[in-house]
Structures are given as C-alpha cells and as structure tokens.
Chain A
Amino acid sequence: MLECKNVTKKYYRMTAVDDLTLTIEKGRIYALLGPNGSGKTTFMKMAAGLVKPDAGTMLFEGAPIGIESKKHVAYMPTESFFYPYMTGTDAGKYYRDFFDDFNMGHYLALLSDMDLSPQQKISKMSSGMMAKLKIALTLSREASLIMLDEPLNGIDIIARDKIVSSIMDAFTPEKAFLLSSHLVDELEKIIDHAIFMKKGVVVMQGSADDLRRENGLSIVDLYRQIYA
C-alpha cells in the first residue's frame, strides 16, 4: 500500500528522517513508536503530502504521493488545525465537502458517543475534547490508510478505552492503520506490527507477536529497552 525507499527529510542541520525504507501493508494496525524527535510525525506528514522528502521515493498504491493519494489517505495531526470560526458541525461539513469517503452520519454518531456537542466552537474546546473530535473526523473517512499521530494525547483514561474501541471498530482488512503514541501500553492490545524509530531511522520492526517471541519481552518492555 505505502512504499518508502531511502526517504530523507532534513530540517536545517537536523535530519528528521534518514534514508528510511519501509512498507505499510493493508490489513494491519501498525504502531509507530519512538520518543520526541524520532521522525514519526515527519514520516506521517510526508505520507499525507504535507511535507516533501528531500530524497528518496514514497509511493501510495504505486503512485507518488499527491492529489490521488490524498483521496485515500486520512491523517490526524497532533496539533489543532481548524479555522477559528469552526464548530464540530462546520468541521464535519468541511470534510464532507472535500473527501468523498467521509460519512457525516457516522461522524455525528461518534461525536455523540464521545459526549461532544457538534454545535460547540472547536476553539473553545479543551485539549481532550479537541483530540476526540479530531479522531471522530478522521475515523469517519473510509480511507485505505488511516494515520493517527498521538491519538491518545490529552485524553483521560476512560475516554482512551472508547477511542481504542472506536479504532478497532473502524478497522477492516482492506485498510491499514498507522498509530503513533508514547502510551505504548494502550496500543499494545490492538497492534499487529510495531515500528521503532530513533533519530530518523527504523531501529527495529516486525510483527508484534514475532517481536515479543524473539525478544521475550512485551512491546512496552522493548520500548523501554530501546529508548531508556
């Protein structure tokens, strides 16, 4: 589905992603793991077409990242990216206008499930409420590749369970999910595949079961071992 070959992205003197080669296959839920500055967000932004690589190739379904890939790739950034005038309903209408795969009914149901009012202005929402809204928007797209950057950030422990179950509900074998998070223990329950990144390179990756078996450690413990 997504193929990256020798992808490099530099910001001034810092190399955010360094000669990265990676393949994302459909039917899997990937965890993109690593501390701040490891290149996770830059990688996702490149796959979403928001950042252009300095070198290497990035293909989605065999074609370079561009207008066509944006129709099938859904990306949820960590930051708030809405216009100041927008309410939850406005954000939904915006997605409906631009993404053919957006399901407004499903979005409103997810908002209700997450105890969010569609009429509330997004700029007046708490960080946790905004995080839930962003997840509802992204999961309401029937995209082939769904990338959630830090989906559990700023969300209380009760709501986390709801979000994890929403992610599981949205997943189908035709899709691939790529989730980045510091809260590895929350992701461990749902992921099929783990990618550990450090200073812009992949230091370890593989099926979650294989990694656990080969190393005799849980993904959480592996994370500690790699980054501690």
Chain B
Amino acid sequence: MLKLMKYEFKKNSGLLAIFGIGLVLLELFYLYSLLTMKGDNNTWVILSASLLFIFVIVCFFTVFILAILNYSRELNSKSSYLVFMTPNSSYSVIISKLVYTLLLGVAAAALLFLLGVIDLNLLHWKVPDVETFRQLMSAFFESMDIPVNEILLSLVTALVTFLISFFSTVTVSYLAVTLSATFLYNFSPKIKGFLSFALFIVLNLLVSKVVSVLPLLNKNPQTPLEAITAAAPATAFNLIMIIVCVFVCGYLLEKKVSL
C-alpha cells in the first residue's frame, strides 16, 4: 500500500509543485510588502496577506477535490491498467488513495498553520500594535473562560469530526465514480460522467438528510466540546458511511470492474 501511495504522490507532484511555487511567490510578496512598508501605508501588506489567505484556502480544498478527480480519472482512463494489473487488492487501491489524501491534507494544514503563525509574528515585529498569534489565542481563550485542557480536547475533537465528515463526502463520491465504472460501464463517457455526478449529488443529499434527522446528545451545549460531542450520532453515521462506501467500492471493483 505504501508503494501505491508513493505513486499517488508522484502522479500529483506536478500540481503540488505549482501550489508550492505559488505559495512561495505569495509569501515573498507578503514579506517584501512588510519589509518595505513605510508609516501607515499598509495597502500592499493587506493585499498580499489577503492573496495569501485566499490561496491557502484554495490549496486546502483543492487537495480534497483532487482526491475525487484522481479516482475518477483513474477509473476512466487507460492508466487504470497500471494500477489494476498489479497484484494489489481493490481495497488496497482505495484505502491508499484515502490515506494519501489524509496525509496530504494534514501535512498541508500543518504547513499552512505554521506559516500563518510565522507571518503573524513577523507582522507584530514590524507593527507592534498588532497582536502576536499567542496573544490573539490567549485573549480568545480568556474571553471564553474555558480551561486550557478542554480547549485542546475541543480542538482535537473538532478536527477529527471535520475529517470524518469530509472523508464521508469523499468516499460517497468514490462510490458514485465506482458505480459509473462498473454498473454503468456500457454507457458513453458523457452519459457516464453525468450519471456519476448525479449519483454524487443524490447520495450526498441522502447522507445530509439522514444526518439532519439524527438526534443531538445535548440540546443546549455550553462549551465547544459539548457542542461537538452533541453531534456524536452524526459523526458515528459519517464514520459508518466511510466504512460502507470503502467496502462497497472495493467489492464492486473486485467483482464488476471493466477497464
């Protein structure tokens, strides 16, 4: 599975390099604007910081969009032979793609978070009126009047809940793509593409509908942790969806695939 992940990375290395270069250029633009800032004229700093922020958001979501597009492209192009000719199970193929996406997402989030902390501290060094990252966080937590250990727990729980919800969407889209490559393989590529997209929308609407009717464990949460744990049934359902989708995709590829 590690080898499959290695080639997932290699396949996307060109696009990742473009994102990396874009990030470096925007970071340099920000640093240049900051170092050459004179007096109160901070227009360029605001512009570069805004561009950097937008780019970071785009990069982060592109990682997940890329995960879905890659899988679709893999099943609908001849390069699928490269993967499916090898002695790997369909489950390994799917799980390697998900783990790769998870690792890439976590690595990208960590890098961008670190960059944000550095940039904010640099801004504080140049403009002492602006609070450092730590000051911002301290002020926020103090205003919330929440113990530090609960804040850390809330952050970790929120991250896990977010990832489970996001990967539920990714695996549901994998299921839509797999259905189009197995049961719908006799249709023309255009019709298959349309049906695959329609399936993706319908399946995600169904999942959202089920999540919306699931009960909340706490109707009146007082802290972030209580709010997150209140949605535990929805998170559990999303987790079940991930497992079911991976299993069904693997089974369909194992038994029905036509490349």
Complex-state Cα separation, A81 to B77, whole angstroms: 8
> Of B3, B6, B82, B89, which is within 8 A of A83 by CB?
B82
Complex-state Cα separation, A187 to B60, whole angstroms: 54
> Of B7, B13, B85, which is within 8 A of A49 by CB?
B85
Separation in Å of the A59 CB from the closest CB of chain B?
16
Chain B contributes a number of interface residues (CB within 8 A of A) equal to: 25
Binary per-residue interface labels of chain A (146-190) against chain B in the complex, 1 for a CB within 8 Å, 0 otherwise? 000000000000000000000000000000000000000000000
Chain A interface mostly helix, strand, loop or mixed? loop
B186 touching A83, Cβ below 8 Å: no
B84 proximal to A (CB < 8 A): yes
| Chain A residue nearest to B10 in the complex (CB) | A85
B86 touching A99, Cβ below 8 Å: yes
> Of B13, B14, B257, which is within 8 A of A50 by CB?
B257
Contact (A85, B82) CB under 8 Å given A70-B87, A98-B87 = no
Binary per-residue interface labels of chain B (1-17) against chain A in the complex, 1 for a CB within 8 Å, 0 otherwise? 00100110011011000
A48 touching B257, Cβ below 8 Å: no
A-B contact count (CB 8 A): 64
Contact (A50, B87) CB under 8 Å given A85-B10, A85-B13, A98-B3 = no
Which of A27-35, A71-79, A110-118, A208-216 is the interface stretch? A71-79
B78 proximal to A (CB < 8 A): yes
B82 touching A94, Cβ below 8 Å: yes
Chain A contributes a number of interface residues (CB within 8 A of B) equal to: 24
B255 proximal to A (CB < 8 A): yes
A80 touching B78, Cβ below 8 Å: yes
> Of A52, A70, A82, which is within 8 A of B256 by CB?
A52
